[in-house]
Each structure stands twice: as structure tokens, then as C-alpha cells.
Amino acid sequence: MADNPYSSLKVDLSGQTAVVTGASQGLGKAIALALGAAGAKVACVARSADKLAETVGAITATGGQAEAFPCDAKDSAAVNKLIDELALKWGKIDILVNNAGITRDTLLPVMSDADWDDVIATNLRGCFLFARACSRHMMRARYGRIINMSSVSGLIGNAGQTNYSASKAGLIGFTRSISRELAKRKVTSNAVCPGFIESDMTKKLGDALKDVVKERVPAQRLGVPEDVAACVLFLASPAACYVTGQVLTVDGGMTG
């Protein structure tokens, strides 16, 4: 793994298991790769089995361990079944990264009920369902790391994203609340707020708009998924045992 971009962090997750939702692409895929490269056995979760296969293949190709688990993050029964079966199969669940999320951008006056409900259900309810299911096993084991992927939109808002911003702000309150419930059982809960990160969505932006984005970011560049994954890797590690209830913003100084 000479080309492993996370090797300088010296994080060893050998023997640990991790669940990453939304692992089929973008940030979720980068996070799954980072955890796998650090030695964790990764359960890659998303709705698309085909895309999950790509993530699993990328992890196993470098000697890591991973399996694909198609699941709808909004389905309570399916989530409970998946996590209970996974805990039985693998013996424990050490790390949960709640990354599954969608957008349905439009201005408030014309936002439909479905636009609102779908985003809240996936981004916020899905996080609740996976955290609840995993926390039961983590509390019994007296060890766990829960990392919820929020966004700078949840901190400062964004026009055309009232649904998305509300869901991501909700994740911050959720994260801080469960950190107070779980800390005594040695389970940490933290949120990560990415800023403008290179993705399939930003690739569709014109160069002029990219320049505007860069002007708002003191680092003078868009972030890359690996910037975010490295921060998640630290929060998932044993070294972060005294870090809980925190919000780590990864935005190149944009909200600084």
C-alpha cells in the first residue's frame, strides 16, 4: 500500500469492524477506502448493489476486507435486521459512519412536501436508525465510534437548500445529544462538516462558478474526498477516545 494517502496518520484499525452508509460513491466511498486501508473490516451500505461492488473491489484489491450490504437507510426494519445480523456475523460493530444523504434543491416557496420529506427521511431519519441500531451493540461492548456526516450548510445555511440545511443542522444537535448519552459506555459521537468538496456534482459546475467558490475558500481550492476521509479516520481511531460531541469543519477556512 505504498500509495495509501492515509499512511502518514499511523492509524491501526486491525481487528475492528466499520459500517459506512452511502458507501457507493463520493465521500462515502473515500471514507470506506480509508477505513479499509487502516485495517478495518468494512460493511459498505447503500441502495445500489452495483456501485457498492466497485467500492468493495477497490478495498479488497489492496488487501483490505469489505462486504457490500444493499439497504434503504429510511427502512427501520431493514436497518435493524442488517445491523443485528452484521453484529452476529462479525461479532461486534466498532465504527459507524453515517454518510448516506440526498439533495432536492429548490427555493422554499416552490418546495414540495416530497422534496422536504425525502431529504429529512434519508439524511436525518436514516442517521437516527443506524445510530440507534449500532449503539445497542456498542454500549454492550463498551466501545464505539459514531461519526455523522453533516455539512457547512448545516452551520450557515444555503439558499435553495432549506431541506438539506435543516437535515444537516439536525445532525449536529443529534450528534451532541447522543454524545452525552453514550460517553459513559466509552462510545464517542462526533460530526464532520465538509465544505466545497470535489465530486460528480461539482464537476458539472462551470469554470466560472468554480472560480467563485475558490474565492470564498481561503485555502484557494476545492477540497477532495481524501481531505474529509482523513479527518473521519482520526475520529474513528482509538486515539480519539476523549473527543466526543464535537463538530469538525473541513472547509479550507470558508466558515472560519
**Would residue 34 count as lying in a domain?**
yes
Report the pLDDT value the prediction gives residue 1, as an integer from 0 to 100. 35
**Would residue 219 count as lying in a domain?**
yes
Report the pLDDT value the prediction gives residue 226, as an integer from 0 to 100. 94
C-alpha cell at 215: 474565492
**Would residue 120 count as lying in a domain?**
yes
Report the pLDDT value the prediction gives residue 252, as an integer from 0 to 100. 94
Domain count, the chain: 1
Give the chain's residues under pLDDT 50: 1-2
- Whole-number Å distance between alpha carbons of 90 and 143: 15
- Whole-number Å distance between alpha carbons of 94 and 191: 17
| Candidate list 6, 143, 164, 242, residue with the active-site label | 164
Residues 6+ apart with CB under 8 A from 194: 27, 149, 151, 152, 223, 228, 250, 251
Looking up cell 462538516, which residue turns up? 193
**Would residue 5 count as lying in a domain?**
no
CATH number at residue 167: 3.40.50.720
**Would residue 111 count as lying in a domain?**
yes
Predicted TM-score (pTM) of this structure? 0.94
Residue 164 among the catalytic residues: yes
Q: Residue 35's domain spans which residues?
A: 11-250
**Would residue 172 count as lying in a domain?**
yes
**Would residue 211 count as lying in a domain?**
yes
**Would residue 193 count as lying in a domain?**
yes
